[in-house]
Amino acid sequence: MTDPRVTRLARLLIDYSTELKSGETVLLDMIDVPDAMAIELMRAARDAGAIPIVEVRHSRITREVMKDTTEAHAATVRDIELQRMKEDGRVYRDSGERERERGFGHSSGSPRALQSHPAAGVEFSG
């Protein structure tokens, strides 16, 4: 059973902090976040009538992938991430620092971003 505090926090983030509206798309970029929180955020976004897109990342796995990466692998990852940014119209940073969008314009059709990282708390852009 999910801790009711997690459910309340997810509702607060979706309904109050982001004021997510029906028909909007939200990118939930979950970095080392417990599954229960990601699930509750997704549920709250759906209940608001929004379209949640969930990205789950694990630092230990990412670190291992990058540990012995090759130039070809790094170029492939770069190309995929650049394509995602172009389609999305924004850059989402997942470092512990609160970084702002850089070099990409915001269009009303672009998803909002709800990004979470244990070192930085929760970050919103949009």
With contact defined as beta carbons under 8 Å apart, do 125 and 113 qualify?
Answer: yes
What range does the domain containing 45 cover? 4-98+106-125
What does pLDDT average to over the chain? Answer: 75
Q: Is 41 helix (H, G, I), strand (E, B) or coil?
A: helix
CA distance 40 to 67: 33
Domain count, the chain: 1
Q: What is the pLDDT of residues 12-34, one digit of tens each?
A: 999 998 888 899 888 888 999 99
pTM check: above 0.85: no
CA distance 96 to 68: 23
Q: Write the CATH number for 39.
A: 3.40.1830.10
CA distance 126 to 48: 17
Q: pLDDT value at position 115? A: 52
Most confident of 8-12, 21-25, 88-92, 110-114: 8-12
Helix H or strand E encompassing 47: helix 35-47
